[in-house]
Structure 1
Amino acid sequence: MGAETSHLDYTPDPGPNDNNNNDNGNERPRENVNNADAGGSNAKQSWIYYSRPGDRAPPTSLPSWHPKYYNVEDIVNSDMDTMVDVTDKELEPATAISSNIGRKIAVVRHAESMNEAFPRWYSYCVSNDHYTAKDLNHPATLPNRSKGLASYNVDPPITQIAKHASRILGEALAKETSIKWDNVVSAPELASAQTAAAIAFSTTGDKAFINIDETLYDFSHGKIDFMTPMELMKYDITVKSKPMKTREEGESSVLRVLSEFEKVQRQYTGNLIVVVGPTAFDAVVHRLIGRERGKMRKRPIIPQLACVILEKGPESWKLSSKQVLPFRINSSASILFDPISYYSK
C-alpha cells in the first residue's frame, strides 16, 4: 500500500498459492497502519480490511460495503428497475429461525365464485362477447381480458355477496383474533385474488396491495390464463409481486403446491393470510397439521371462506387457539367444516 493513501483500502483475498497467510489461513484485519514516522505532524493512517467470513466489521467511522443479493425469479421475470433487493433477508442471522415460533398463518379458501353460485351464468349473461348482469348478486360489469370474456368461464369472479362476506371475514381476522397480520398472499385465480383483496382491506395496514403467487395455483381448476397485474387493476386489485407462470397437472402439481408453500413461509415475514382454492387448501392444511398422504385421496368438502389459523410451534405447526367463527352462506350453508378432522388419529 502506498504511503500517501489515507482512504479505506480493500485488499483482495490472497490466492491459493500465496504463502504469506498465517497458519490457519484466516488473516485478521490489520488496522491503524501509520504511513509516516510515529509522532510526525503529517502522519496519515490507512486501513486494511480483509473481507472474510468471521472477520469483524471495519471501524464505524469509515464506510462499509457488502454485496447486494437479488431473487433469481425477480431477475428472470422482472425489469431491472423492479428487482427486489433482498440483501437484508440473505444476511439474517441463523437465530432468526427461532423467532418464527408463535408465527401465525391463516389459510383461507376463496369466497363463492359465479361458477359455484350460478353454474350456467356465462351462457346466460354473455352474448356476442358482451356481458349483462341478470341478478343483483352478479358483478355489475366484467372488465375485458386479453383472451376475451371467455376466460371468465374458467376463471370466474366472485359474487357480490361473496365480496361483502370476504370483508366480514377480514374484519373478524383483524378484530376477533387480535393478531397483527403483515401480508396477504393469494393464488392467481380471480376468485382468490378478489377474496384476498377484500380481506386485505380490513386486516393489513397496506390495504391497497396483495401478493399474488402463481405457484399456489389450484390444479383442480384446469388450465387458466390468469389475469395480468394490469387487468387486475380494473378490479381495484394492486399486486406487489409479478406472478410466476406454472403449468403442471396431476400429482406433480400437489407436490408443487406443497413445495412452493414452504417457500412462501420463508419469503414473507410476520403473520400471513394465504388465500387459495379448495384443493390447494386441503393439501396445505394436511401437510402442516395432518397425516401424511402418499397420493391425493378424495378431499373433504371445503366450504367457501373456510379459514384455519395455524401457529408455529418449536417443532411443527398446530391449530392456533385463536380461530374465527365459521362462515356459512348460500350453497355452503349446510356444510360444517371442522379443522380438527385433519389431525392424525
Structure 2
Amino acid sequence: MIAPTMIRQIGASTQSFTVRFPKLTRLVAMQQQQNDKVVSSASGGPIEPRNAKVIETALQRLNLRVLENADSGVAQPQTAQSGRRVYVARHAERVDFTFGSWVPYSFNDAGEYVRKDLNMPKSLPPRSPNIWQQDTPLTNLGCYQARLTGEAMKEAGVRIDHVFCSPAFRCVQTAASIIEGLGLRESLPIRIEPGLLEWLTWYPAGIPTYLSNDELTSAGINAAKNYTPLTSVEDLKQSMKESFEAFCSRNAELSKQLIKATEGNILIVGHAATLETCTSAFVHPDIPLTRDLLKRILKFSYCSIVMMESVDGSWKMTRPPCAPFTNSKNDRFDWKDLS
C-alpha cells in the first residue's frame, strides 16, 4: 500500500505509481509494515523509522524528476516558422464517456433536454434523443479544455489559416472552442469534412444524422456554409464495412488532399486516432499503420494536439505549441448521502 501523502506529492495514481516506480513502491510498502508495528519509546513517542531518511531522499529525487519531465513537455513561444504547419487535435471531454448512458435520464417524456449536472451542457440544439446517444456533445469542462488550448496557442504565436473538422458534434464543438480561444471565432469558419470521421466499425447502428451547417450556425458555431467536402457522408455510407487499414488510409489520403488544396497553416480536429492517421503518412512514410494504434490511442488524452512542420520539402513532427490539459477523476457528489 502506497502512502496517500506520497501519491499526492507526485500527482500520480496508486496504479501508475506502482508501474512507474516499482523499487520505491516496495520500499514504501516495507516502511508501511514497520509503521504498523511501531512501538512507543520511553518518552511515549514513536520510534523513528529506519528508512524514513531513505524515503525522504528518494521522494526529493522523484519530485525533481517529475518536474523535469513536466518542463520538457511545455512548449515555448514559437519562433518564425520555416514552413507550413499542420496542427491535429483530438476532441475534448465527451458527455457519454463521463456520465455513461446519459440520454435516458437527461430527456423528459416530451423529448426535451434537462440538465442533470453542472458539467453537462446548459442547453442542446433541438434533436432526437436517440441521435444524441450516437453523436454526443462535450461536457462543459470539455469546452473549457478546448478554449484554454486555443488561448495557449494564441499566446504561443500560432497562426491558423484553415480549419477542417470531423462532423461529430464533439469535434465541431472542440474546433469552435479552440478558435474562440485563438480569438478567430468570427473570421475563421469551420469546414466540416466527413472523411475525418473515426473508424466506421464503431458505428454499428449506422452513421448518425449530423447537424447541418444551418443547424450549427443556429447553435452559435461558425460553420462554412459554402464548403464542399472532399468526402461526403453518403460516400462513407458506402464503406460501412471498411477494414481498419482502409480507415487509416482514408484519413491519410484526406489529409494529403487538404494540404495540397490549401496554403498556409491548417488545424484538423478529429478523434484520438486522427492524431496518428493524419500525420503518420508524412513523418513515417515507410511505417504502415497497424492495429497497434488501437492500443496507443488509449494514451491520447482529451484535447491532445500534435504539430508537424514542412522543412526543406519534407514534414517532421515537432513540439506542440502548448502544454497538455490534465485533470483528475472527480466522483459525483450526492447530497442525500448526508441526509
TM-score range for the pair, normalised by the shorter chain length: 0.5 to 0.7
In structure 2, how many angstroms separate the alpha carbons of the residues matched to 1:203 and 1:294? 32
Indicate the residue corresponding to 1:219 in structure 2: 199
Aligned partner of residue 190 in structure 2, secondary structure? strand
Residue in structure 2 matching 1:173, options 146, 153, 160: 153
In structure 2, how many angstroms separate the alpha carbons of the residues matched to 1:264 and 1:206? 21
Within 5 Å, give how 1:1-345 maps onto structure 2.
102-128=83-109, 129-145=111-127, 148-176=128-156, 178-203=157-182, 205=184, 207=186, 209-219=189-199, 221-222=202-203, 223-240=207-224, 241-243=227-229, 244-245=232-233, 246-247=236-237, 248=239, 249-251=242-244, 252-290=246-284, 292-293=287-288, 295-297=290-292, 298-300=294-296, 301=298, 302-321=300-319, 323-330=321-328
Instruction: Quote the offset at 1:272 in angstroms.
Output: 1.1
Q: What is the TM-score with the length of structure 2 in the denominator?
A: 0.63
Runs of 4+ in 1 over 6 A off after TM superposition: none
Indicate the residue corresponding to 2:37 in structure 1: none
Aligned partner of residue 124 in structure 1, secondary structure? helix
Instruction: Quote the offset at 1:204 in angstroms.
Output: 5.8
Query: In proportion to residue count, which structure has more helix?
Result: 2
In structure 2, how many angstroms separate the alpha carbons of the residues matched to 1:168 and 1:108? 13
Q: 1:215/1:258 Cα in 2 relative to 1: closer, same or farther (>3 Å)? A: same
- Which letter does structure 2 place at the counterpart of 1:225? T
Q: Deviations over 1:38-66 (max 9, x none)?
A: xxxxxxxxxxxxxxxxxxxxxxxxxxxxx
Please give the root-mean-square deviation of Cα atoms over the aligned residues, in Å.
2.3
Q: 1:215/1:173 Cα in 2 relative to 1: closer, same or farther (>3 Å)? A: same
Query: In proportion to residue count, which structure has more strand?
Result: 1
Aligned 8 A contact 1:279 1:299 in 2: no
In structure 1, how many angstroms separate the alpha carbons of the residues matched to 2:218 and 2:274? 26
In structure 2, how many angstroms separate the alpha carbons of the residues matched to 1:166 and 1:198? 5
In structure 1, how many angstroms separate the alpha carbons of the residues matched to 2:283 and 2:185? 29
- Structure 2 unmatched runs, 5+: 1-80, 331-339
Aligned 8 A contact 1:183 1:204 in 2: no
Greater mean deviation of Cα atoms: 236-245 or 255-264? 236-245
Aligned partner of residue 275 in structure 1, secondary structure? strand
Aligned 8 A contact 2:88 2:274 in 1: no
Identical aligned pairs, as a percentage? Answer: 23
Instruction: Quote the offset at 1:316 in angstroms.
Output: 2.6
In structure 1, how many angstroms separate the alpha carbons of the residues matched to 2:89 and 2:163? 10
User: How many residue pairs get matched?
Assistant: 230
Aligned partner of residue 238 in structure 1, secondary structure? coil
- Structure with greater Cα Rg: 1
In structure 1, how many angstroms separate the alpha carbons of the residues matched to 2:288 and 2:139? 34
Aligned 8 A contact 2:252 2:279 in 1: no
- Structure 1 unmatched runs, 5+: 1-99, 333-345
Aligned partner of residue 304 in structure 1, secondary structure? coil
Q: What is the TM-score with the length of structure 1 in the denominator?
A: 0.61
Q: Deviations over 1:307-327 (max 9, x none)?
A: 111111224321234531111
Instruction: Quote the offset at 1:123 in angstroms.
Output: 1.8
